Structures are given as C-alpha cells and as structure tokens.
Chain A
Amino acid sequence: MTRLARITAFIVALLVPCLSALGELRFPPPEFESGYRFPEMAPLPVARPALYEYIDAALLVVALLLASYLILRRRSRRAIFGLMILALFYFGFVRDGCICPIGAIQNVTLTVFDSTYAIPLAAAAFFVIPLVFTLFCGRVFCGAVCPLGAIQDAVLIHPVRVPRWLESGLRLLAYTYLGAAVLFAAIGSAFLICRYDPFVGFFRLNGNWNILVLGVSLLVIGLFVGRPYCRFLCPYGVILRQLSRLSKRRVTITPSECIKCRLCEDACPFGAIREPTEDWPEGEYKIAKRRLTLFLLLLPVLVAAGGWAGYSLKERLARVHPRVRTAERVYLEETGQVTGTTNASDAFRTTGQTSEALYKEATEIRGQFAVGGAWLGVFIGFVAGGKLMALSVRRRRTEYEADPASCLACGRCYKYCPKEHERRKKTREAVGGR
C-alpha cells in the first residue's frame, strides 16, 4: 500500500465515525388505539454529584504533577505520550471534553462581567491550575494533559515544517479568537469556544455535522501540520504562551550544555526549537533601530484604528447575541419585510413581552458591543503592533533551545540530543551498578 493510499484510508476512517451523527429519530409517537396508557415519564437524569468536580480537579492536579515530572525530570517522550493518551481518554472521552481550561476562559470572563453568574468550581479550577503549573513548569498542560492537544498529537504522522514567518502571521488568529471569545462571553452572548470546539464531537461520539467536519478537517491537517489548533487557534494557548515565558523551569533540549551539533534542528514538529543567533550584517542595526521607532509610532495608530473598526462593527457583532437576532427577526416580521416566522419569534410572542421592550433590550446590547468591540479592536491592534516590534528586535541565543512560548512540552526533542543519550546511559549504569 502506498503512502497516499494509507493516508486516504486513514482520512476515510476518521470521517466514518461522523456518519452516526446523521442518525436522528424521525418517528412520530406510536398511534395506539384507545385503551393504551402511555407509561409515566422517566425521571430526569440525576445531576452529576458535586464530588465529581473535586475529583476532576484533583485528577487534573495529579496529571499535571505527573506531566511535570515526566517532562522535566524523567524526560521520557514515551511516558509523556502514555500520560497524554490517558488524559485523552479521561478528560476527553470519559468527561466528554467538558470542562476544559480552554472553555473555562469564558466562565471566568462571565464571572467577572456578570455578578449574577456563579462560576462552577470545576471551571475555576480548570482555568487556574494549568496557569499555575505553566508559571512554574512551562506548558506541561499542553504537552501531556490537554485532550484537544492529545488527539492532534496522536494523529501526527508525517510532520511538515511550517515556515516560522508564516507561523508568526497565523498566530494572530489565536489572539483574535481569544479576544472575540472574551467579548462574547463578557456580554453573555455566546460561549464561542465551546460552540466551535472542533473535537468535542469526537469525545462525545456525536455532535453538529459542521463542527464534526471542522474537527475532521483539523485532524486531516494535523496528519502533516503538528497540532494546528493548538498553535494557530487555541485561545488558552495564547495565555499559556505568555506565562510560559516567565517560567523558571521548562523544557530544555539538552540535559546539560548544548554542543551545537544541530541534530535537534528538525526534531520539533511544532517549530519551537530556536537556533543560536549570530551577528547581523553590517548596517542592519541602524535600519532595525529606525524600524523599531517606526513601529513604536505605528502602535497607537493600529490601536486606534482597531478600536474604531471594532466600534463600527457593533451592530454586526451584536447579531451573535440571541436577543438581538430575535429582535431583528421580530422587527422584520412586524414590518412586513419577511414572510413567515421562526421558532425564536414564535417563542418571543408567547412571552407577552412587547416588541418595543425587545428592541430596547437589543439596542442596549448593541451599546455593550460598541464598547466591547472597540476593546477587541484595540487588543488586536496592540497585539499586531507588539508583534511587529518584537520581530524588529535582535534576540540573543548562544545555544539551541526550545522557545518557551511555542514549546508544547511534548518531549520529542530529548532523544535527538547526544547529551541526553549520555545522560540516559549514565542513569542506566547507575541503576545497574546499584
């Protein structure tokens, strides 16, 4: 079987589980003749005991402790992979991919902006605990505990290197996604991250067809491009990137000093290995200074333009909010601009609320989006300007190292380092000699 045939077969195999999502109950209730008594309604499923939330949080801590040990001390890719599969099984398939730290961003945001919302303990724990671990140990959560990362990592068969410059551009998407997710959660419009979680359908073996197709597409891309969601879309990853820069202990390619053998250059499928820097050509420093000055001046322009653009989009952004959508639909129906009704407009009319009150509410929500949209634009402008400045500054590196922000702590690079082999040999000898 050729490689192409294998890949095709694999893609088909990935798509097939989605087929069951097409199944739906089409039957009307049975048409029994008189005399039949319908059985009593089955009782509603009992809510999941709160104890399980504590168990989940405890398991997360255990998993992260184990991951930190395996990544930083044991330095075993095989063990990391094993833990990753276990995490995928429990946090993904057993817990149906919920709650996850990525989605918890929205719960935390809503807690901040809506005093009536009580954040579930699990959501708060899942948001905070990985951040704490990242602050001390780097992105160990991404490396061995995140089920979304794990499913992508598991399917990575033939990694293709994405040019680093392209990665810099694509990463802007994740920042935009984070900004949008925070905005919509803050206004109580939608939990975008959950709604468009591409892998939750696999974990639940069911789901929206479009989202399943999105998930399959990402996995198909993930056959060749390592963890595309984590690198270019994950909003939680954006936060982890910044915290990981501050972490004291994190993944190092070599266990001791780097001998610059270059064996690890292509080890990372996620493009996180940075080579030692060298002096720039003569004259480049002056140009770099001028460029940096220009970008410094450009930053407020980008921020202002982003803010203005976000503000201008308030009515369009507000359409994500169900009340605004309902208000628009009701208005169109009542002004005879559309025919027929929708479930939402029908439901609204049963509430007895006046359409004027609905329009007023929708207008207020649009006002919130005016402020929120402006902040979103400011954020995007700031990130873009900041990136441009960061890329204009010369970095100094004397050895090969894993970029603290980009490194997903998967442990693939360890075995590429001759010093690591030396360490392992010594360890084996020490164990054998005892």
Chain B
Amino acid sequence: MTQTTEQARTCDTNPWYQAARTTAIVGAVFSAIFTVLLVVNLVGSGIIGPWRENKLAAMKVQVQKDSTNQELLAEIRQLDLKTRRDRFWRLEFADKATHMLLVSIIVLVVAGKLAGGMAKEPPRPQPVVERGEWQVREAKQARRAVAGGLAVVAVGMLLLAMTQWVSFVQGDDGGSPYASAEEKHGQWHRFRGPGGAGVSAYTNVPTSWNGKTGEGILWKTPVPLKGHNSPVVWQDRVFLSAADPNARQVLCFDGKSGRLLWTGDVPTVPPASGEKFEIMEDTGYAACTVATDGRRVYAIFPTGDVAGFDFNGRRLWHKSLGRPDSAYGYASSLETYEKFVLIQYDQGDGKEGKSRFFALDGLTGQVAWETKRQLPSTWTTPIVVDVAGKPQLITVANPFVVSYNPADGKELWRADCVGGDLAPSPIYAGGLVFAVQPYAQMVAIKPTGQGDVTKTHVAWKAEDGIPDICSPVSDGTYVYLLDSEGLITCYKVEDGKKVYEHELKEQCRASPSVVGDKLYILTLKGVMHIVQAGPEYKELGKCELGEECFASPAFVDGRIYLRGAKNLYCIGQALAGGGSGTK
C-alpha cells in the first residue's frame, strides 16, 4: 500500500477534513448559483433593458407627432416606470448577488485550502547533494536574468521614446494656432480676400459659364437663410453667414461637392426692453462677411453678436458687443491678424464715444485690445496690409483714415480727408492707401507717416465716378472704381490722372476684382463682365448667372465662388488636388 493511499484513507476518516470538504462543496454550489444568477441578471440587463428603452424612445417620437394621444402617453408613463423599476431592481440584485458570491468564494477558498492542507502529503527526507557548482550556475543565471530585466526596462524606455509628443514651439510640427500671411495669400480668408484688395492670387480662374444652362457650374447649393455677405474660402471649405429676424447662422460648405457640412447657430441676447430688432432691408440681417484665421471661422451680425467656430462647426465662443447704434444697420466685415479677430465697431454720431475697435483673441473670444474712437457709424471694412515690412491696420470712418498697429491697437497715423456715410472699404495698392468718400472723392494716401498726415501724405485726390457702395480695386498700375449705377472709372495709381470711364448701364452692388490682367465686374443681375485691365476699356466676355448677386465673388485656385440671392455657386472644373493653379 502506498503512502498516498494511506494518506487518503486517513483523511477520509478525519472528521475535520470531512467538514472542510463539505463546506468547500457547499461554498462551490453557492458560488455556482450566484454566478448563474449574476449572468442571468447581466443578460437581462443587456437585452431586455435596451429593448424596452428603444421601444420607449420610439413611443416618445410617436407621441411628439400625436401629442393628443392620451392612451399613448399613459402607455409611455407605464413603460418608463417599469423600465426604471426593473433597472434599479437589477442593480440592487447585482449588488447583493455579488456580495453573496464573494462570501461563497471566501468559504470555498478557505474550506478548500483547509481540506487541501489536511490532504497534503508530508515531505520526506531527501538525500544529500553537492551544491557548490549548482550555486555558481544559479548565480550566473540570476545575473543573466537581471541583465534581461534591465533589457526589458530598456526596451520599455525605447518603446516609450518612440511615442509622439507635442512641441509647443510653433513651427516645430508645422502647426500654429493661426495661419501665416503666406498661407492666407493663397486663400480667400475675408471680404475681398487678402488685404481686402479684391485681387486673386490665381490666374487660372474660369472665364466662361452660364448659370441657366449649367455650363461651367461645378455645383450650386441653396443657402437656407438670406444674407448679403460674401463667401470666404479656406482650402475646401466655403463659409457664409446667413440670418433672419430669429436666427443667425454660420454655414460651411464643402468646396468640392457643395454639400452643406455644418450650420453653426449664433445666439443673441434680447434687449431688456424687449424691443424687436429690425434692420433696413437693403442691409439685411447678415451683411457682414465672416473671416477665418485658417483654423477657426468668425462671424459678426448686426445684432452685435460675434462668435468663433472651429472648422467642424463647434462654437468655441460667443460674445455680445451690444446692439450697435447704426442708422442703416451694422455692416462692417471682420478681418483677422495673427490670433486676433479685428472688429471695427463704429456706431452713433461719434460724440457719444460709443465707437470702438476691438481685437478679440480668436481662441477664446476675450478682448485682447480695444481702442476708443470718437467717430460715427460707418459701414467700411478694415484692412491689414504690409507696409515696408510692417503690418498696418487701416480703417476709414468719417472724417478720418486711421492706421493702427494691429498687434496692440496703437495709432500710427491719421488723415482728415473723408466724410459722410461711408460704405466703400479702403484698399492698399502701389504704395498708396485709397479711401473713398461716396459721390465726392477718392483720396490716395502714403501710409508712411506718423501722427496727423493730412497735410503731408495725401498724394492725390480724384472726384469723378466716385462710388457709393462698391470698394475700389487696383492692379498696381491703375485703380478702378465702380459705382452702383455701373459706371467704371479708371485712374493711374501713380498720379491720380483719370484714364477712362465706361458706363455698363447696369446696377452693381458687388465690388470689382482683379484676376491677373483682367477685371471681373459683377452686376446686380448676376452678369459677370470680364474686362481687360489697362488704360482702355475692352470687354473680353460676359457670363450670366441667372440670379441676383449682392455679394462679391471669391477667387481661389481654378474656381470662383459666387453667392446669389438664394444659392451658392462654384464655377470651375473639378480638381484632382489643390495647388495646381498659377499664382
């Protein structure tokens, strides 16, 4: 008879062993029961619960369509109550069963260990062995194991070293919180593109299309709400704003397909008086063009509400600047400079000190700097231009053209040379700033002075064909004016000598643009006149959109984006990839 058998027999007759074994079996049985109960409960929670919840959700959708159905409402209440009761009952049950299972397992383990200990075979004396060499070998293996452990730690460190981390030094990873001026140059990031000049960086834009037949139209997408503001383009995203008395939206379209990617709502704070906000119809509820810094897009509305959105449509911030006191309704568009959103917030008659120029931090919407202006309401849009390697923020408001440092809002120079209700925005071309006083004069100013430059830096003035709404455009040699009646007037940049004038005899609201050696002039009826730039008027072509156009077009690589009264158009060819155009 072997010792094991003897041991087994001894155990079988040991009452303590039997008690421990029986307890272990009881513990195992209870463990199994509670395990099964927990699994059943879990299955029930995972299947029945969601089924009821889905049913409840479907019933809720149904009741929204038929809110008078009392029977359905009662059924929903019953099911809701039942679902909740069941859920909480199951949670309570799981809690209790887990405790019971734990106790059962403890009983099983303790009793099992006791029984196992009693049944364990005792050790037997072993023969004496020589250990000298064995100990040397074991120490050697242990050293190798330590070296191996160190190698494991080293490999761990190496794997960790291969993980990515983010450098906060701009340019280290090719990313920065805002687009550089170079990046903006190839885009159409604000009203009339970079510098508000209305000059295309690309020459490969279409010269022929027809909105009625669809020829040359890549896509056409309805815009849900109205707005006179112009499209802004950043790579394959096209941004607009639109509004009615009740809603203010920023819209983002896919530049390739025209699909509306997202709509961002901009809230407003109603005045305490409860007075209804109304605006002149010609201005509309969304006159201001949005602007982007290449990372986010910003919009302002005549209610004084400003908001920033990321390119996925998430509203990052919203700020109310207060309802502007503006006779025709606020209409100045936004500009961006580095991380700032620049807002020319001129209002009132200028004597009340209501006007401000704000630079908001594009990331947070907080005011980065603010400059008070003793100037009345205006409808012009500021521009940021590079003058001899230094940025200048140029604004036009009755009676001054004022230049600021866009980094801190400090005034650089001002010229007292304009007046009246001002709508055309300034441009900078050929080393001169051009500001327009509607129906009266255009003033060319050298932006190199300091302080009051009225008497020292006004290069020349012109008085013929001065527009009331449309902003001027220049190819560097000539500056072109377009008034709302369709009169085109051309002056030499150098000396302000009038070169020609030509009457289109069509109403115009959109500002003219320059593409290479061509002028693009869009009429209110949606007819684009393509004219040779230069000292003589020579029409090269005429393209009809078939829809009224108030907004100025946006020109990017191989495409033109036009906003009609109801639709947004993309004119051009489908491109396989960006960047193929000629700058």
A20 and B84 contact, CB distance less than 8 A:
no
Q: Does A136 contact B (CB under 8 A)?
A: no
Of A10-18, A34-42, A63-71, A117-125, the segment with at least 4 beta carbons within 8 Å of chain B is A10-18
A168 and B142 contact, CB distance less than 8 A:
yes
Of A43-51, A184-192, A275-283, the segment with at least 4 beta carbons within 8 Å of chain B is A275-283
A388 and B143 contact, CB distance less than 8 A:
yes
Distance from A358 Cβ to chain B, minimum over Cβ atoms (Å): 9
Selected from A169, A333, A337, the residue in CB contact (under 8 A) with B149 is A169
A317 to B163, CA, bound (A): 10
Chain B residues closer than 8 Å to A165, beta-carbon distance: 138, 141-142, 144-145
Chain A residues closer than 8 Å to B110, beta-carbon distance: 85, 154
A316 to B78, CA, bound (A): 54
Distance from B379 Cβ to chain A, minimum over Cβ atoms (Å): 32
Q: Does A22 contact B (CB under 8 A)?
A: yes
Q: When A27-B87, A157-B112, A355-B363 are in contact, do A166 and B314 touch as well, CB less than 8 Å? A: no
Q: Does B95 contact A (CB under 8 A)?
A: yes
- Using a Cβ cutoff of 8 Å, how many contacts connect chains A and B? 204
Chain A residues closer than 8 Å to B160, beta-carbon distance: 313, 316-317
Q: Does B364 contact A (CB under 8 A)?
A: yes
B125 and A349 contact, CB distance less than 8 A:
no
Q: Does A352 contact B (CB under 8 A)?
A: yes
Q: When A22-B42, A339-B311, A341-B314 are in contact, do A263 and B125 touch as well, CB less than 8 Å? A: yes
Q: When A154-B110, A281-B132, A333-B310 are in contact, do A388 and B45 touch as well, CB less than 8 Å? A: no
Main secondary structure of the interface of A (DSSP, over half): helix
Chain A residues closer than 8 Å to B361, beta-carbon distance: 354
Distance from A213 Cβ to chain B, minimum over Cβ atoms (Å): 16
A130 to B310, CA, bound (A): 55
Distance from A235 Cβ to chain B, minimum over Cβ atoms (Å): 15
Chain B minimum-CB-distance residue to A384:
B150
B135 and A278 contact, CB distance less than 8 A:
yes
Which residues of chain B (278-311) have a CB below 8 Å from chain A? 294-295, 310-311
Q: When A168-B142, A170-B149, A354-B364 are in contact, do A23 and B94 touch as well, CB less than 8 Å? A: yes
Which residues of chain A (319-333) have a CB below 8 Å from chain B? 319, 327-328, 331-333
A335 to B138, CA, bound (A): 57
A205 and B99 contact, CB distance less than 8 A:
yes
Distance from A98 Cβ to chain B, minimum over Cβ atoms (Å): 18
Distance from B513 Cβ to chain A, minimum over Cβ atoms (Å): 28
B142 and A331 contact, CB distance less than 8 A:
no
A261 to B127, CA, bound (A): 9
Residue-wise interface mask of A (145-177) relative to B, using a CB-CB cutoff of 8 A (1 in contact, 0 not): 000000000110100000111111111110010
A16 and B39 contact, CB distance less than 8 A:
yes
Which residues of chain A (260-280) have a CB below 8 Å from chain B? 261-267, 275-280
A14 and B105 contact, CB distance less than 8 A:
yes
A169 to B148, CA, bound (A): 7
Q: When A205-B95, A277-B131, A316-B160 are in contact, do A392 and B139 touch as well, CB less than 8 Å? A: yes
Selected from A9, A16, A25, A265, the residue in CB contact (under 8 A) with B126 is A265
Which residues of chain B (90-130) have a CB below 8 Å from chain A? 90-91, 94-95, 97-99, 101-102, 105-106, 108-110, 112-113, 116, 123-126, 128, 130
Distance from A185 Cβ to chain B, minimum over Cβ atoms (Å): 19
A335 to B123, CA, bound (A): 70
Chain A minimum-CB-distance residue to B133:
A281
Chain B residues closer than 8 Å to A433, beta-carbon distance: none
Quick one: which of A19, A20, A331, A354 has the most chain B CB within 10 A? A20
Chain A residues closer than 8 Å to B176, beta-carbon distance: 335
Q: Does A359 contact B (CB under 8 A)?
A: yes
Q: Which 4 A-B pairs have the closest CB atoms?
A: A169-B145, A335-B175, A165-B141, A172-B149
Please name 26 pairs of A and B residues whose Cβ atoms are closer than 8 Å in the assembled complex, sorted by A. A9-B32, A10-B108, A13-B31, A20-B95, A23-B90, A25-B91, A27-B87, A164-B138, A165-B142, A165-B144, A169-B148, A262-B126, A264-B123, A267-B123, A278-B131, A281-B133, A281-B136, A316-B161, A316-B165, A335-B175, A354-B364, A355-B363, A384-B147, A391-B142, A391-B143, A416-B123
Chain A residues packing against B (C-beta within 8 Å): 9-10, 12-14, 16-17, 19-20, 22-23, 25-27, 30-31, 85, 154-155, 157, 163-173, 176, 202, 205, 261-267, 275-281, 284, 302, 309-310, 312-313, 315-317, 319, 327-328, 331-337, 339-341, 349, 352, 354-355, 359, 362-363, 380, 384, 387-388, 391-392, 416
